Structure 1
């Protein structure tokens, strides 16, 4: 009798190995290596940080701006 050789997976009718776990493993490794969406995420984070800075600045100066607009309103209605 001949030697028994170890097979990686069951073969289909055409003699190819089945996709099985190897295909899932390669799909997962491709997914983890794919960085095509990273640029969009980084851009979104930067836009959010700029928007947060603008909102913080506007809220910090809103009290002073109200006084300026009140003075302007008083000056315009007084003349």
Structure 2
């Protein structure tokens, strides 16, 4: 027939994956090394940081612009 492929998980066969704590540790190591979703998370965090910085900057600039227009309107009106 064919050769049996090693499945991810526990195995009691000789030469198979370790049972018990070692199997859980190897699964955790595999999960820790998996970086398939890391890029999306990093992009999301960067977008949130950029959004917070923009909101803060626009709020500060917006207040200053309002003061400048008020002073200009008062100077023109006088």
| TM-score under structure 2 length normalisation | 0.54
Q: Cα distance, 1:28 vs. partner?
A: 1.2
What's 1:32 paired with? Answer: 32
What's 1:62 paired with? Answer: 62
Q: Which has the larger radius of gyration?
A: 1
Q: Cα distance, 1:51 vs. partner?
A: 0.5
Distance 1:64 1:22 in 2: 62
Give the superposed CA RMSD: 2.9
Secondary structure at 1:52's aligned position in 2? Answer: helix
Runs of 4+ in 1 over 6 A off after TM superposition: none
Identify if the C-alpha distance between structure 1 residues 63 and 21 changes in structure 2 by more than 3 Å, giving closer, same or farther.
Answer: closer
How many residue pairs were aligned? Answer: 59
Q: Cα distance, 1:42 vs. partner?
A: 1.0
Q: Cα distance, 1:55 vs. partner?
A: 0.8
Mapping 1:1-79, distance limit 5 Å? 16-17=13-14, 19-67=19-67, 68=69, 71=73
5+ unaligned residues in a row in structure 1: which ranges?
A: 1-10, 72-79
5+ unaligned residues in a row in structure 2: which ranges?
A: 1-10, 74-78
| TM-score under structure 1 length normalisation | 0.54
Cα deviation, 1:7-41, whole Å, max 9, x if unaligned, reads xxxx95xxx15632332121011011111121122
Q: Cα distance, 1:64 vs. partner?
A: 3.3
